[in-house]
């Protein structure tokens, strides 16, 4: 079901949560939206094959509350990407993003992801095909290089070529992607971060929107990057320590301080779990897994997390599970603190 018109005006990319496979599904994004009203959220990567040959509604359905939300596509055939971008616009996504950064071998076998950086003209053709059929922004997420090449000219020429096709926003993971020899996890940790290359891109292409991604885990780091760039994308820290998102609107978007607490967010997630079970038959553990980091760093968080991840309780109503979680880690132990 189409969740309604896209939000307008389209927000700046000042702060966003990265697309993360198996994590940033629509339930995760609903949870993150409860924490930050203004951060831009991204879907998991959806391949063109899944949309051309699969269940479009299953892959593209989302909650209207998620806006602003961007659809990330994986593919390398301009015609297929154009078709899927149009589907994304029809489903009211606020942005279409092309994945040119994923280094996994499975993605490489599909001839897309980070390996596309070696073919900037093909990426430009893909971007132009999408730009020609949609009115929402088309953006590209990529690395600073592939394998062990450290030439700034490589990423500069990639951005220059693709921007000429109509892309004005580039989200740059400030590490190389090693296409052989490293797992996707190792590709997020082993290649060194080189933020200075992204800063140099911004100086060379001041008219473009440049967003940095990779290794950013604190508000101080976000603020420092925003001194030089247009935006910051946060990945796994946003997932593992989601309460951090609750400070973003005030700290980085100039919004008023939120009065919500972890407990109020948890309660709203319980309501969401109940509605998803009633409307779609979704079992609550499928949703609850995304909020297990909500009490990150607080006393009693481990006991609270153990209750919410106990599949033996799956037959209970989620509000009963919440009561059990609070009994296991009482308010007096700091679990429900606003901090």
Residue whose C-alpha is closest to residue 117's, from 191, 184, 177, 70:
177
As a whole number of Å, the CA-based R_g of the chain is 20
DSSP 8-state secondary structure symbol assigned to residue 186: H
Catalytic residue numbers, as ranges: 102
User: How many angstroms separate the CA atoms of 6 and 132, rounded?
Assistant: 19
In this structure, what token pair is assigned to residue 190?
Answer: 């082993």
Those residues whose C-beta lies under 8 Å from the C-beta of residue 164, and which sit 6 or more positions away, are 124
List Cβ neighbours of 177 (8 Å cut-off, separation of 6 or more): 101, 102, 103, 113, 114, 117, 143, 145, 146, 147, 187, 191
How far is the C-alpha of 235 from the C-alpha of 19, rounded, in Å?
8
Closest CA to 262 of 286, 238, 241: 241
């Amino acid at each position: 079901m189409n969740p309604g018109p896209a939000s307008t005006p389209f927000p700046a990319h000042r702060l966003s949560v990265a697309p993360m496979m198996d994590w940033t599904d629509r339930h995760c994004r609903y949870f993150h939206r409860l924490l930050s009203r203004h951060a831009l959220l991204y879907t998991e990567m959806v391949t063109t094959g899944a949309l051309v040959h699969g269940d479009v509604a299953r892959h593209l359905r989302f909650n209207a509350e998620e806006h602003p939300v961007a659809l990330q596509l994986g593919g390398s055939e301009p015609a297929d990407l154009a078709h899927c971008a149009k589907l994304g616009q029809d489903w009211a996504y606020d942005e279409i993003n092309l994945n040119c950064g994923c280094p996994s071998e499975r993605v490489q076998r599909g001839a897309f992801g980070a390996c596309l950086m070696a073919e900037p003209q093909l990426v430009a053709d893909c971007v132009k095909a999408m730009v020609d059929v949609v009115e929402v922004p088309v953006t590209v997420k990529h690395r600073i290089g592939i394998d062990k090449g450290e030439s700034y000219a490589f990423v500069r020429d990639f951005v220059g070529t693709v921007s000429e096709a109509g892309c004005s926003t580039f989200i740059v993971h400030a590490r190389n992607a090693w296409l052989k020899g490293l797992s996707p996890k190792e590709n997020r940790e082993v290649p060194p971060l080189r933020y200075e290359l992204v800063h140099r891109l911004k100086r060379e292409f001041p008219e473009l929107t440049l967003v940095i991604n990779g290794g950013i885990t604190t508000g101080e780091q976000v603020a420092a990057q925003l001194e030089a760039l247009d935006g910051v994308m946060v990945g796994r820290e946003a997932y593992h320590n989601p309460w951090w998102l609750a400070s973003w609107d005030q700290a980085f978007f100039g919004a008023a301080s939120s009065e919500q607490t972890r407990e109020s967010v948890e309660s709203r997630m319980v309501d969401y779990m109940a509605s998803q079970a009633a409307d779609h038959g979704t079992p609550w553990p499928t949703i609850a897994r995304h909020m297990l980091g909500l009490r990150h760093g607080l006393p009693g968080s481990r006991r609270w997390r153990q209750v919410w991840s106990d599949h033996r309780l799956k037959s209970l109503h989620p509000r009963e599970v919440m009561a059990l979680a609070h009994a296991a880690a009482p308010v007096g132990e700091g679990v429900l603190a606003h901090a």
